[in-house]
Structure 1
Amino acid sequence: MENQLWQRITLDPNICHGKSCIRGLRYPVELILELLSLGMNAKEIIDDYDDLEHENILAALLFVVRMTQVKSIY
């Protein structure tokens, strides 16, 4: 399941200025996180962005979890 979620995230310098985003949709991961931090739940986000799927939100969360597990960033 984790590998399938990873496939939903794109890191490409030519897409969204190199920001991590949902593959094929160009929604930055940071947008998903911001909406969640503002109190929206997954259903509300999907209702507002009907081309998103629940797995896209899980992929964004997994991406950030893995990024915070990095021991140091240079």
Structure 2
Amino acid sequence: MSKEKLLERIETRRDVLGGKPIIKGTRIPVELILKHIANGWEFEKICNEYGLEKADIRAAVLYAEKVLEGEEVFI
């Protein structure tokens, strides 16, 4: 699946979680998925726990990459 298609799985809506990025059609924030990955959860466990597809998890990681890619760091 292309990166563009993956990113279509992420949306922000003011009326859902204050506009935080979520998996489209859910109330599951990208942040939660990243926390689970950081804590060692396997993609399969996240998918089973929240009824997601692996592509949703990949989309969350790609979204985080894109956000950080544009971040400027000042030391």
TM-score (norm 2): 0.88
Could you list the runs of 5+ residues in structure 1 that have no partner in the other structure? none
SS in structure 2 at match of 1:39: coil
SS in structure 2 at match of 1:40: coil
Identity of aligned residues (%): 32
Could you list the runs of 5+ residues in structure 2 that have no partner in the other structure? none
Q: How many aligned positions are there?
A: 72
> What is the aligned partner in structure 2 of residue 25 from structure 1?
26
| 1:2-61 deviations in Å (ceiling 9; x for gaps) | 111111001121221110000001100000000001110101111212x20000000000
> What is the aligned partner in structure 2 of residue 58 from structure 1?
58
Cα distance in 2 between the residues matched to 1:43 and 1:71: 30
Structure 2 counterparts to residues 1-74 of structure 1, below 5 A: 1-49=2-50, 51-72=51-72
Structure 1 runs (4+) greater than 4 angstroms displaced: none
Q: CA RMSD in A?
A: 1.4
Amino acid at match of 2:68: T
TM-score (norm 1): 0.89
Amino acid at match of 2:27: R
Cα distance in 1 between the residues matched to 2:14 and 2:45: 30
